[in-house]
Chains A and B, each alone.
Chain A
Amino acid sequence: MAEIQIKNVAKSFGAYQALNDINLTVADQEFMVLLGASGCGKSTLLRIIAGLETATSGEVWIGGKRIDHLSPKDRGIAMVFQNYAVFPHLTVFENIGFGLRMQKLPNDEVTRRVERVAGLMHIEMLLKRYSGELSGGQRQRVAVARALAMEPDVILMDEPLSNLDALLRMEMRAELKGVLAESKTTAIYVTHDQVEAMSMADRISVMHEGNIVQAASPIEVYRDPAAKFVASFIGNPPMNFLPATPAGSGKWQVAGQSFDGPNTDKAALQFAIRPEDMAPAEQGLVATAKIVEPLGAHLLVTCQIDDAMFRVILDSDTVVKAGQTLTLAPQSDRVRWFDPETTLAVA
């Protein structure tokens, strides 16, 4: 059982607060992604779980045991680094078997495990080479194989794909997801790439300025963002926001149109809808098309509503010209509302 519990973990570097009171539970064998922009604290949190940094306060538990006072080697974790950290003076075989040799496993067991993982990562033919003779993608596979060979309770990955080219990244994403699912290990994966997060995670923890803003499944984070930050960070093109003023109980005025909304007595709200959740209709928001981009799979139209920029994704067969007026009806169950002061979602 390798459930991870992070209780009230905070970390400061001198005057700079990197993490504020983080609370998170990762279920056994769950693939948790820590997603956020640079500087949000996701790598710091990962390193605290690994034992490479010490939290200023708080506790870390793995498998029901408190581990935050233990050194990395006693935590039952294995880590894959962003720059791979493959040992240059050892062959690929010895790299993968490094942790196993530290455990003083017998030679035949080491060979068996190394060859098995090398097969999983498709690097069996590279076992006698040194890291200097490998490409970036091959080195990354060695790094992952080295972690998997340990058969750890928890595997931690710090942006392992960010140094690879786009095509290789896409291939490795799928491969990693398959390999990790099969290995039945709890995984925590750090990335700034929301596509990676959406495609690989069981749950995503969206982080911003040292806080976890929302921790939920990919589709929940996409459809029901808990805060404006999540709504604008996830999704490409990003969610659209328009100011809304009250027009009676449960009714809100957005760009001259009336919509059903939350029954709250706030002075103003923000109306949010994703570009793909709208369609041309008779009744709806009136927008002037400014830029029309035929992307092949669909049509991306950047419009103007009042003074705000607004993006909508339409079917690729739709004919729209710049300057044309469009009437767009949002799908009512996909409309979201945010409080402009707290930036949190309002039900």
Chain B
Amino acid sequence: MTDATVVDVSTDTRKSGRFLYGASVVFLCAWVIVPIYFLLINTLSSPEAVNSFPKSFIPEFDFGSLQFFAGFAGILTALKNSVVVALMTMVMSIIIGAPAGYALSRFEFPGKGLFRLLILLTRAFPLPLLALPLAVMFIQVGLDDTAFGLALVHTTLAIPFAVLITFSLFSGIPVELEEAAWTLGCTRLTAFNKVVLPLILPGITASAIFAFVISWNEVFAAAVLTIENRTLTAFLLQNLDTSPLHLKFAGGFILVVPALIFIFAVRKYLFAMWGIANR
């Protein structure tokens, strides 16, 4: 009789634990998905439907909002600027970050631990504190309101991730593979190109896309450092009060969806980086 009671209690605890777990998962998913869903509905609704209430849960598939969005003055230029800055950030952060990741994984040098810490600490700095001094400096140098100037700031934000991801990638390639290539007629560079690069290319791509998304989403520095050549995030921020509702929704949609698609495409590498075994 005692045994049965004990079993019942533990089953009950397990059941309620499972319920709680399920409920929190559903809640978290809803937290993320519902705003995106509303975004989607309102983007695909006609401008009139956006401004009406109550809203339906099924989009009308009216591309009026998107058309309006495309036609709004300056939006396509802003979109182009976002793409240009993000591409520059991607290239620069990989060119600087990947060799750093390789050096960290293969070489021992004085100050290695400190370097790793400093790389992480650059992210600890609140960007609003830096933005105004940066703006002043950029004006003095002539980089203000340029895509390159903004890309420099975004690269600084993306480099810690580029270094850490490439560090773990390179650490996963046994050094014996490179040594074997050296004994088979390769210089250090040839061995890297023929043996290491093919093996880490998927990971480097993921790292590059991550850098792209960091730049794409960034609002604050973009808003402060660009005036005429605004990126899409800065543009939307600037017009937040004055623009029509359906424009904001369409803009939000255009911002969110590419980032979502990219991150989804490289999720395997992000899981590996954050330690979830995915074999």
Contacts and interface: CB of A to CB of B under 8 A. Distances in A.
A79 B174 contact: no
A72 B187 CA distance: 9
Given A87-B195, A88-B199, A89-B199, A79 B180 contact: yes
B181 interface: yes
A103 interface: yes
Contact of A85 (B179, B187, B190, B198): B179
Contacts of A72: 179, 182-183
29 contacts: A51-B183, A52-B182, A71-B182, A72-B179, A72-B182, A72-B183, A73-B182, A73-B183, A73-B185, A77-B183, A78-B183, A78-B184, A79-B179, A81-B176, A83-B174, A83-B176, A85-B177, A85-B179, A87-B177, A87-B180, A87-B181, A87-B195, A88-B199, A89-B199, A99-B185, A102-B185, A102-B190, A146-B180, A146-B184
A93 interface: no
Nearest to A88: B199
A102 B190 CA distance: 9
Interface in B181-213: 181-187, 190, 195, 198-199
B13 to A, nearest CB: 44
A85 B176 contact: yes
A103 B176 contact: no
A99 B198 contact: no
Nearest to B173: A88
B182 A102 contact: no
Interface residues of A, number: 21
Contacts of A81: 176, 179-180
Nearest to A78: B183
A50 B180 CA distance: 10
Contacts of B181: 87, 98
Interface residues of B, number: 16
Interface string A211-227: 00000000000000000
Most buried by A among B174, B179, B190, B199: B179
Contacts of B182: 51-52, 71-73
Contact of B183 (A50, A83, A87, A103): A50
Contact of B186 (A73, A83, A88, A146): A73
Interface string B243-264: 0000000000000000000000
A145 to B, nearest CB: 12
A85 B195 CA distance: 11
Contacts of A89: 195, 198-199
Contacts of A87: 177, 180-181, 195
Contacts of A88: 199
Interface string A81-112: 10101011100000000110011000000000
Contacts of A50: 183
